[in-house]
Structure 1
Amino acid sequence: MAIHKPRASERDPWRVLLVLLIPAVCTAMASAAVVEHTFYVGGMGISQLCMNSVVYTANQQLPGPTVEVSEGDTLVVHVVNGSPYPISLHWHGIFQLQSGWADGANMITQCPIQPSARFTYVFKVTGQEGTLWWHAHASMLRATIYGALIIKPRSGGYPFPPPHAEIPILLGEWWNRNVDDVEKDGLLTGLGPAKSDAFTINGSPGDQAPCGGAGMFQVEVESGRTYLLRIINAAVNAELFFRVAGHAFTVVAADASYTDPHPTDVIVVAPGQTVDALMAAAAAPGRYYMAARAFESATASTPPPFDTTSATAVLRYKGVPDYAPAAMPALPPYADVVTAARFYWSLTGLVRPGDPVVPKTVDHSLVVAFGLEQASCAPDQTRCQRFSVLASMNRRSFQFPEKVSLLEALFRGVPNVYSEDFPGWPAPAATRKATSVRKVNYNDVVEVVLQNEGYSRALGTANHPIHLHGFNFFVLAQGLGRFDPRMRSTYNLVNPQVRNTVAVPAGGWAVIRFTANNPGMWFMHCHLDSHLPLGLAMVFEVLNGPAPNLLPPPPADYPKCH
């Protein structure tokens, strides 16, 4: 991929020094590179679903630019905010070792980039390879501001047969309205945003949607070749089934961590998750639809409306004309929890020499129960009717700070920004709003039982994709119902799957374990965007370790809160 470098006149003086110094540091690292991009965030005209709209994107692209690096490279991304909204960009799944200021979690690790301002994200990609992604982390702008982040191995090849080509597949969600307005309306009603109008594959709903054929994604393959599909669920609020008619897959990675080869003919992917799957072009030459539609797991007595559309793209064999008819895959029913659970729970991690192993001793053993409940209408919820929705973890409904990010408050010792009292078990008291964190020491091993509760019969429960910033974690076990401590005897301590986002089943649980070897403030939250402003989140405060495992000072252009 070409590296886009801004003109010198576009940079502040410190940026010039920064970009000059980084290559000098990298000379000591064999073949490591500095990969530099500039993202101009601004309005883009688009015709979608028979409507002309203006959406906000990076570099006038939907999805945004694909960023490709090799393990060990340093990534420098200059973000120029030409939109009317404060924004931040999160590099989803990147560890950000000693670069927590670049994580991009709005009001957790940084204040947002204000309109007409700019900020440069600088971080080294260490110890990771595979498919990740980047997205806006302020309001629902990530519906259109997102892109793939691909990390190639530094040396050697993949631990599977090399593919003929690699195909990024970004699954998204589309609204016919300005998504910031959609979110604001949801907050005013207290019930969250309205359902989307379509799903998309690489930015287009496909030719099965009204007026959807012009921008539909198509890819050409050759018989006998094998292709690596890098599948990313960039949808805002929907888990998705994905299939390609006439073809099967072998899953080889999830969330940029290799898996044991897993054969399947359907992929299930939650918002925030990625799946790498090998696909052999072994069907009769022709045209085949790839398609995605919702997996809806809600158990509410009156389930909320959800998007029932299917996004399509076309896989065409070389030599087959564009006008040839295409075969459509049979997608699972929307509520097919058996197919979803079979896929999620069947993956195991590929264990290679030198890879991190499951830590056997635990310093912090937490039970974090989370869910939605009914609450009284707040005064600012002017369109609220009978009740609003509140979300919480261990009965703490997370409140974002307003004047300073949590990371800056930690680094500078700013008082009265957060409390260090997030409980390690479900609190019996009523839910309260708080900016509450859990403090752990450097290198502590943390185990969390994530318990998916149904606090309200009317709201029920659903699968929740829980994402942890700053770390990968081992998924030791998953199940339905309430976690029983006797289940510890069934933990997979040999080859569990490694993820940064786990889909905790409706009315069920998952057990994760990680080593807190990364000083900073690290967000753990539901990746259904509608649940984030409702409070379904918490933060791990990881203290400094011995030098050099220290949180460095913020960069010179660190955004200020307004």
Structure 2
Amino acid sequence: MVTVNGKFPGPRIVAREGDRLLIEVVNHVQNNISIHWHGIRQLRSGWADGPAYITQCPIQTGQRYVYNYTIVGQRGTLWWHAHVSWLRSTLYGPIVILPKPGASYPFPKPHKEVPIIFGEWFNADPEAIISQALQSGGGPNVSDAYTINGLPGPLYNCSAKDTYRLKLKPGKTYLLRLINAALNDELFFSIANHTLTVVEVDAIYVKPFDSETILIAPGQTSNVLLKTKPHYPNATFFMSARPYVTGLGTFDNSTVAGLLEYERPHRIHQQSITDLSADKLALFKPNLPQLNDTAFATNFSNKLRSLNSAEFPANVPQEVDRRFLFTVGLGTNPCPENQTCQGPNGTMFAASVNNVSFTMPTEALLQAHYTGQSSGVYSPYFPIIPLSPFNYTGNPPNNTMVSNGTKLMVLPFNTSVELIMQDTSILGAESHPLHLHGFNFFVVGQGFGNFDPNKDAANFNLVDPVERNTVGVPSGGWVAIRFLADNPGVWFMHCHLEVHTSWGLKMAWVVLDGKLPNQKLLPPPADLPKC
């Protein structure tokens, strides 16, 4: 397996708001590599954003590249991961951004902070799995386990020893920094007999609220406060995660568990699960929602609100320059001649935004844009609405074919954008966690069915909507986001279910330079990798 510095999960990066980071990545493996610093705004530093063939050519075997960027106006939990094919299955780790010196959290200072990163484990090589799926046109094999901090836990065969254990003291408050690094699954997470207080998502403070269960999509982060019981309980508690699944495809429906243990008054050596009963410790398991509990998912996301305080305002664009409607969903491509395909009705699975399935370029889009040599690399004419409207969430049309191309949406500097992302029922309605590079955005509304601009827009929250970098487009519904295009460069937007990204559910925005010097993309670094 491919790792960073021999660690799985990879090393934790700890920085402060305002810090400049220089991270040298040296490629010692046969695969091309690039690293994305997920959620970092990358103001004018798109060269350090990381998605292969979008902002940079990948780092080839034996080559190196220094990612150079400054963390501006951000604090909280983010993460880094590979951004080539399915390599992020093992190449990922936490980014912890502490407040500036002297600044405090807008919640009680925790006794201790603990990163908890969820992943997916494949017994086979994930690169071989997606390669075979793309050749056959069918769905890829699913993972063999989920992991907490790299460990699958006791509910899988032969893995009781590989269990993450969180040891806590009674009567304390802990900050858990949750990250979903799973390739293809949104996850429910809960700790038996404990309530979690959500205080931050995607490195943005939110109005605190209590929840027994957290929903976290791939790409998303959540900071939660955990108050431990005032006295030492004679019990051990499972902390468990399992998928929230809305599509028709196959999926891993297993549960990963770690152990929350209270530090004993008298130190007892680490023991296996089988020893717990001998020690007369009760073992409590949480009740997680059903796999397809969309009502819980909706209710949970509706509770998320920006803090919107004097210190942490929610600067929602009140007026909008450009409005877009993007359909997101699955579709098909024809099977090549003289080949048998395993997609629907003998086709190949595809996925698209506004019926455009993104064709990856062979040179980096940002370089093509910066040098003014984009002709033949990409088209600047991405459709602003679906070319042929239909009842998106009703009976799907008979024609499931998508178009293919490298089309980008061009925006003048400082354009305020409202984007409606509409799920479609083609090959089954499904929740899609969409991630926008280079920006945070405000989630001003969401609902089910087809978006109605007359009725739905009137109910948008323009006061304290949650601000994030990755949002779930509801299964059979829509989500509305607003953002200010104040960061020049080329910015990727894609589904964070890796299988859908592989099938083409991705696009990119070009934000042009502004007039002032500090509104222009900086020149590329001298060591920028070549394709």
Q: TM-score, normalised on structure 1?
A: 0.87
Shift, 1:431, TM fit: 2.8
Contact 1:187 1:381 (8 Å CA) reproduced: no
Letter in 2 for 1:330: N
What is the match of residue 452 of structure 2? 484
Quote the residue 1:466 is aligned against: 434
Contact 1:377/1:384 (8 A) holds in 2: no
Alignment correspondent of 1:46: none
Within the candidate set 176, 198, 213, 1:229 is matched to: 176
CA distance in 1, matches of 2:242, 2:11: 24
Q: Choose between structure 1 and 2 for higher RCO, CA contacts under 8 A separated by at least 6 residues.
A: 2
Checking the alignment, whether the CA contact within 8 Å between 1:445 and 1:513 is kept in structure 2 is yes
Structure 1 residue aligned with 2:366: 407
Contact 1:188 1:384 in 2 (8 A): no
Quick check: 1:357 aligned with 2:315? yes
Q: CA deviation at 1:117?
A: 1.1
Pairing of 1:268-279 with structure 2 (within 5 A): 268-279=215-226
- Contact preservation (8 Å) 2:12, 2:95: yes
Per-residue CA distance 1:257-304 (angstroms, 9 max, x = gap): 110011100000010001111011027353211111111112xxxx22
Tell me the secondary structure at the aligned position of residue 58 of structure 1.
Answer: coil
- The one-letter amino acid of 2:460's match is Y
Per-residue deviation at 1:131? 0.6
Q: Equivalent residue for 1:249?
A: 196
- Aligned to 2:512, which of 537, 543, 549? 543
Match of residue 73, structure 1, among 9, 15, 19? 19
Paired AA for residue 136 in structure 1: A
8 Å contact 1:190–1:381 — kept in the other structure?
Answer: no
Amino acid at match of 1:290: M
* SS state at 2:86 partner: helix
8 Å CA contact 1:464, 1:527 repeated in 2: yes
**Which residue number in structure 2 is paired with residue 527 of structure 1?**
496
**What is the match of residue 393 of structure 2?**
none
> Who is 2:334 aligned against?
376
Distance, in Å, in 1 between the alignment partners of 2:480 and 2:420 is 5
Contact 1:188 1:380 in 2 (8 A): no
Shift of 1:192: 3.4
AA paired with 1:512? I
Structure 2 residue 124 is the aligned partner of structure 1 residue 177: yes
Task: Give CA deviations for 1:313-358 in whole Å, capped at 9, x if unaligned.
Answer: 1111010744434322122111111111111222111012253511
Q: CA-to-partner distance for each residue in 1:192-233, whole Å, 9 max, x for gaps?
A: 321111100000111221121223211110110011111100
Confirm or deny: 8 A CA contact 2:12 2:93 kept in the other structure. yes
Structure 2 letter corresponding to 1:526 = C
Letter in 2 for 1:409: A
**Alpha-carbon spacing, 1:466–1:379, altered in 2? closer, same or farther (3 Å):** farther
- Structure 1 vs Structure 2: percent identity of aligned residues? 44
| Structure 2: gaps of 5 or more residues | 390-400
Question: C-alpha separation between the residues in 2 aligned to 1:238 and 1:331?
Answer: 15
Note if contact 2:333-2:402 (Cα within 8 Å) is conserved in structure 1: no
1:142 to 2:91 alignment: no
Matched with 2:50 is 104
- The one of 364, 367, 372 equivalent to 2:325 is 367
The offset of 1:379, in angstroms, is 5.1
2:264 to 310, 319, 323: 319
Larger deviation, residues 425-434 vs 139-148: 425-434
The CA distance in 2 between the partners of 1:521 and 1:416, in whole Å, is 16
Q: Give the aligned partner of residue 51 of structure 1.
A: none
User: Deviation at 1:188?
Assistant: 1.4
Q: Which AA in structure 1 matches 2:493?
A: M
Residues 207-226 of structure 1: matches in 2 within 5 Å? 207-226=154-173
Residue 291 of structure 1 corresponds to which residue in structure 2? 240
Q: Is the 8 A contact 2:341 2:347 kept in 1?
A: no
Specify whether residues 85 and 382 from structure 1 end up closer, same or farther in structure 2 by C-alpha distance, changes over 3 A only: farther
Instruction: Name the counterpart of 1:49.
Output: none
CA contact under 8 A between 1:253 and 1:277: conserved in structure 2?
yes
- 1:463–1:380: structure 2 CA closer, same or farther, 3 Å change rule? farther
2-structure distance, mates of 1:191, 1:130: 39
Is residue 148 of structure 2 the alignment partner of residue 190 of structure 1? Answer: no
Q: Is the 8 A contact 2:408 2:510 kept in 1?
A: yes
- The one-letter code of the counterpart of 2:66 is T
Q: Contact 2:332/2:402 (CA < 8 Å) preserved in 1?
A: no
1:346 alignment partner, one of 300, 303, 315: 303
* AA of the residue aligned to 2:354: N
Change (3 A) 1:426 1:380: farther
- For 1:427 and 1:172, locate their aligned partners in 2 and report how far apart those are by CA, in whole Å: 37
The amino acid across from 2:450 in the alignment is R
| 1:122 corresponds to | 68
Please name the residue that 1:94 is paired with.
40
Q: Distance in 2 between matches of 1:380 and 1:222?
A: 65
Q: Give the alignment's TM-score, normalised by structure 2.
A: 0.92
Alignment match, 1:308: 253
Q: Match of 1:398?
A: 358
Post-superposition Cα deviations, 1:156-182, rounded to whole Å, max 9, x if no partner, equal 110001111111110000110011001
Q: Distance in 2 between matches of 1:277 and 1:335?
A: 24
Unpaired segments of 5 or more residues in structure 1? 1-54
Q: Which residue of 2 aligns with 1:44?
A: none
Structure 2 counterpart SS, 1:548:
helix
TM-fit CA distance, 1:500: 0.3
Q: Is the Cα–Cα contact under 8 Å of residues 475 and 511 in structure 1 kept in the other structure?
A: yes
Q: Does structure 2 retain, via aligned residues, the 8 Å contact 1:292–1:310? A: yes
Q: Which moved more, 1:383-392 or 1:326-335?
A: 383-392
- What is the alpha-carbon distance in structure 2 between the residues aligned to residue 245 and residue 409 of structure 1? 52
Classify 1:400/1:97 alpha carbon distance in 2 versus 1 (closer, same or farther; 3 Å). same
Match of 1:434 in 2: 405
- Tell me, what secondary structure is at the counterpart of 1:413? coil
Task: Read off the aligned partner of 1:439 and give its amino acid letter.
Answer: V
Distance in 2, matches of 1:498 and 1:510, equals 13
CA contact 1:476–1:492 (8 Å) conserved in 2? yes
CA distance in 2, matches of 1:314, 1:410: 50
8 Å CA contact retained: 1:449, 1:509: yes
